[in-house]
Chains A and B, each alone.
Chain A
Amino acid sequence: MEVKLDKQYPLDVDADRAWALLSDLKATAGCMPGAEILEQLSDTSYKGAVKVKVGPAVAQFGGTVDVIETDAATRTVVLRGKGADKGGSSASMDLTAVIAADPQNPAHCTLNGAAAVIVNGKFAQFGGRMMVQVSEMILAQFVENFRQTALTLPAASQSSGTSVDADSAPVDAAAPEAPAKPTPQVATEINGLAIFWSLVKGWLRGLFGSRG
């Protein structure tokens, strides 16, 4: 089953810091809940793993990530990830991520992500109906981790204040204060209970929203 995502996440991070993080695949992967880079195979190829937990079911995808393109001028990376889980599922993802500076506010930028995710096997069969919602949840957690990690990076040029704009946060929870700690805040695995709760909320919203 194939899911196409095209998302824009406004961030309260300047474009240079965001790009510094995005162009470092290992650090970016660290922001993906449950994901880690295990080994660098070549200049552009990595071995990685993603662990997804939904309720009692755990899927552990192992595979490779290839950096197809990195363009600092347009602040664009193109990635291709492929993996399989021992329980009879496989997945692949083509992702194009772009950091776009905010012309109004140099301290802000937008993370644009366009992804095509293909899932095969049990994961598609059982999880198919929730794929879009789960993917969105995972991405929202990723963006929040990305934002917090980027904020801990040293500012590239003159800092233009670190005011937190709650409206720009893509997750509905109020954005926490900018962390003072330099270590990235990274979820160790995708939190199934949080996903479930978010799905229920999304479903309820959809239920009443469409009738309104």
Chain B
Amino acid sequence: MNAPTDNAEARELALAGMGASRLRKEDARFIQGKGNYVDDLKLPGMLHMDIVRAPVAHARIKRINKEAALAMPGVHAVLTADDLKPLKLHWMPTLAGDVAAVLADEKVHFQMQEVAIVIADDRYIAADAVEAVEVEYEELPVVLDPFEALKPDAPVLREDLAGKTEGAHGKREHHNHIFTWEAGDKAAADAAFDAAPVKVSQHMYYPRVHPCPLETCGCVANFDPIRGELTTHITSQAPHVVRTVVSLLSGIPESKVRIISPDIGGGFGNKVGIYPGYVCAIVASIVLGRPVKWVEDRIENISSTAFARDYHMDGELAATDDGKILGLRVNVVADHGAFDACADPTKFPAGLFHICSGSYDVPAAHASVKGVYTNKAPGGVAYRCSFRVTEAVYLIERMVDVLAQKLGMDKAEIRAKNFIKKEQFPYTSAFGFEYDSGDYHTALQKVLDAVDYKGLRAEQAAKRADPDSPTLMGIGLVTFTEIVGAGPSKMCDILGVGMFDSCEIRVHPTGSAIARMGTITQGQGHQTTYAQIIATELGIPSEVIQVEEGDTSTAPYGLGTYGSRSTPVAGAAIALAARKIHAKAKKIAAHLLEVNENDLDWEVDRFKLKSDDSKFKTMAEISWAAYNQPPEGLEPGLEAVHYYDPPNFTFPFGIYLCVVDIDRATGETKIRRFYALDDCGTRINPMIIDGQIHGGLTEGFAVAMGQQMPFDAQGNLMGNTLMDYFLPTAVETPKWETDFTVTPSPHHPIGAKGVAESPHVGSIPTFTSAVVDAFSHLGVTHLDMPHSSYRLWKSLRDNGAAL
């Protein structure tokens, strides 16, 4: 029953393990509309919640009258901050060491802030009752610009912090100042600049954007007053962390809190945090003893849940005359909105921004990030990237372009000159990161050859020489290094919990298996790829391996899925749990074959005698024996749990090249070519990698070319519907060309580095590089995103290039 063939190669193929482009297990249910999302859940007696939100960005609440709403038939409760006060739940801690209002307490800090909640029999009654709640506001001056916020006479935004001069990350210098965080060696960087013959500087603004997953946030809270148990289905990228937080906030023992993340319709960082809506739904369920559903609409999602970026950056490079970088200095003013609710490892208020020395051997570097409060929604999450890495990569890649322009050097040449060389790995950067592995020169050359870089430059020169050319042609090049897989718990924790991850594997008597994980898929295809790792490690066909995630009552504790940490951290946990089973299986095989363990070799799906190929035991036979006749002294069963605390981050990299043609009459920009080479180490499923890269490039395209959250002077967010906020469809999306090299991570059990975020991180500066390149012969060194047609048309006019 076990060995269809003796051919090892054929058996390996049949496993569909690592390296196989196995079709996604998830798709069968998604494409048939059989997914199971939070909003699909309907429980008996379930009530619905809706939220009263502030129309103004900064105001004192003078009065809330809920009588009219409460009098409406079908309305069960209307709760305000005053109602949550006795429970001490009107404020909650944030992941960044600040507090955030659950419901506005005396003051409103941003437009669309949660002011009151209504619980009613159905969604429609709840929405009507929201309109019946009367709130009287006394408007206060609105502060939207972080530079204005830091002026001495700026209005005090956070009155609750009055007199607090010490924040979670050190001294607060001003009433709207949150922290100043520094990395690197300032004295060394300053010395490098003092001595350098060439210096460049550039200011750039990385606009506020929103991850905008297709599924908005929501939950169904169900408190059982008889058992004292709380079960909550929730759109969370980190269900175990939610369980811990809910237990700490509510006082319900963690063993009686069950958090379930069912199918998640995209997260991209937006579903890491804990939002007031979740807390209110849980409180309402506890108070009323009935299930309460809350699902936000699109406008609420874009307006009030976590944004990303909003970094005002000043970069400086010092270099020799021939383009060797000597030093880097960066100053950032970070707009964190009304509450510091960034989702970063506790010790890093600016995330891993200090990866901003990029792929280059920079001898001296210093970065300083200043966090500031404004009257905007809180957030600052990693939108499809590891914490603040997108901002860091954007900064260094823009700066290298600016330096090349100043020196009249080619973009590719200056990069090759400054790359960390293959033989320098493991390489310790000026900021203290230890890069695990890389081969940037080989990858760069592969891309330049593939696109005929010289030919492109010649074509560009010809176009520039022609005054009647209808387009400006730009070539963007980015050679980025990501840092993912947070992370070593000696450096990274969330609320004190180390950022390890976990896996539990059970092999059943008949040779199939189930793996339960501390992560949660939101489209990454975990159910497909995790099974492939086990298939290769244990010789069990991936088809019969179930992968379960997201239910805290069954899965081992894990920190969740964000920052491309699933493969680098959980993927390692799987491999090591599988290896524990593998070791036990070997003992059983030796017992069954009546030989010494040392006499056995592993081959695809079986242990065989070194001396005799015909004597072997397959994994299926071993599984049966584990439950049927385990060796004496060995406990029955075939299971293992592994908690993996990574020794280091992983450092995937990529070389991206983009060619744009900008219409000189209209500013419309055509992405003629986009070539993306990614190196994510060992490749588990090439088809899924390609899919992830396509998705990441498309989101990068959205950010660079169109996404923005514009505010008017009163703090109204002018782009919070999909009519305004740019989500590209197949119509707008360019064609992507992908390529790869493989440089495994030396410290990861299977050498994998993580991939899903690289295309987002890497592509955004590539688009900017290409657009700016189109204008570079006119002396333009930088253009801020988004590169929309209107903005580019203005740039064309400003630079005398419009037709």
Complex CA distance for A126 and B299, rounded to whole angstroms: 11
**Contact indicator A128/B718 (Cβ below 8 Å):** yes
B720 touches A1 (CB 8 A): no
Type the 1/0 row for B711-730, where 1 means its CB is closer than 8 Å to any CB of A: 01111111011000000000
CB distance from A124 to the nearest CB of B (A): 4
Query: 0/1 per residue, B113-134, Cβ < 8 Å to A?
Result: 0000000000000000001101
Query: B55 touching A1 by the CB < 8 A rule?
Result: no
Q: Tell me which residues across on chain A come within 8 A of B721, comparing CB atoms.
A: 125-126
* A residues 119-134 touching B (CB-CB < 8 Å): 119-122, 124-126, 128
Q: 8 Å CB contacts to A: which residues of B175-209?
A: none
A128 → chain B closest CB, angstroms = 6
Q: Are B716's CB and A124's CB within 8 A?
A: yes
* 14 residue pairs bridging A and B, Cβ less than 8 Å apart: A1-B712, A2-B713, A87-B131, A88-B53, A88-B55, A88-B131, A89-B55, A90-B56, A120-B715, A120-B716, A121-B55, A121-B716, A125-B718, A125-B721
By size class, the interface of chain B is 10 to 19
Tell me whether A86 and B718 are in contact in the complex, defined as CB-CB below 8 angstroms, given that A1-B712, A120-B55, A124-B712 are known contacts.
Answer: no
Q: Which residues of the other chain, A, contact B55 by a CB distance below 8 angstroms?
A: 84, 88-90, 120-122
Is B374 among interface residues, defined by CB-CB distance under 8 A? no
A123 to B263 Cα, complex, angstroms = 35
A2 touches B714 (CB 8 A): yes
Q: In whole angstroms, how far apart are the Cα atoms of A121 and B137 in the complex?
A: 13
Q: Which A77-91 residues sit within 8 Å CB-CB of chain B? A: 84, 86-90
Interface residues of A in 24-66 (CB under 8 A from B): none
1/0 contact trace for A69-107 toward B, CB 8 Å? 000000000000000101111100000000000000000
Given A84-B55, A88-B53, A89-B55: A124 and B714 within 8 A (CB)? yes
- For B720, what are the chain A residues with a Cβ–Cβ distance below 8 Å? 125
As a 0/1 sequence over residues 745 to 764 of chain B, the CB contacts with chain A under 8 angstroms (1 = contact) are 00000000000000000000
A119 to B721, CA, bound (A): 18
Instruction: Contact check, A128 vs B56: say whether CB atoms are below 8 A apart.
Output: no
User: Across the interface, which residues of B come within 8 angstroms of A1, CB to CB?
Assistant: 712-714, 716, 718
Q: Is A118 close to B, CB under 8 A?
A: yes
- Interchain CB contact under 8 A, B53 and A125: no
A118 touches which one: B53, B131, B714, B717 (CB < 8 A)?
Answer: B714
B111 interface residue (CB < 8 Å to A):
yes
How far is A124 from B721 in the complex, measured between Cα atoms in Å?
13
Given A89-B55, A90-B56, A120-B56, are A125 and B131 neighbors across the interface (CB < 8 Å)?
Answer: no
CB distance from B117 to the nearest CB of A (A): 14
Residues from chain B with Cβ under 8 Å of A87 in the complex: 131
Told that A84-B137, A86-B131, A124-B718 touch, could you supply 10 new A-B pairs with CB distance under 8 A?
Answer: A1-B713, A2-B713, A88-B55, A90-B55, A120-B715, A121-B111, A121-B716, A124-B714, A125-B299, A125-B718
Chain B residues whose CB sits within 8 angstroms of the CB of A89 once the complex forms: 55
Q: Could you tell me the distance in whole angstroms from the C-beta of B236 to the nearest C-beta in chain A?
A: 27
B717 touches A125 (CB 8 A): yes
Across-interface contacts of A122 in B (CB, < 8 A): 55
User: Which residue of the partner chain A has the closest CB to B132?
Assistant: A86
Which residues of A are found within 8 Å of B111, using beta-carbon distances?
120-121
Across the interface, which residues of B come within 8 angstroms of A90, CB to CB? 55-56, 137
Which single member of B56, B131, B132, B134 contacts A121 (CB below 8 Å)?
B56
Nearest residue (CB) in B for A89 is B55
- Residues of A near B132 (CB, < 8 A) are 86
Q: Give min CB distance, B135 to chain A, whole Å.
A: 8
> Contact partner of A120 among B131, B134, B714, CB < 8 A?
B714
Bitwise, A1-15 to B at CB < 8 A (1) or not (0) is 110000000000000
In Å, the complex CA distance between A55 and B564 comes to: 46
Q: How far is the CA of A118 from the CA of B59 in the complex (A)?
A: 15
Tell me which residues across on chain A come within 8 A of B717, comparing CB atoms: 125
When C-beta atoms are compared, the residue in chain B nearest to A124 turns out to be: B716
Q: What CA separation (Å) do A119 and B55 show in the bound complex?
A: 9
Which residue of chain A has its CB nearest to the CB of B712?
Answer: A1
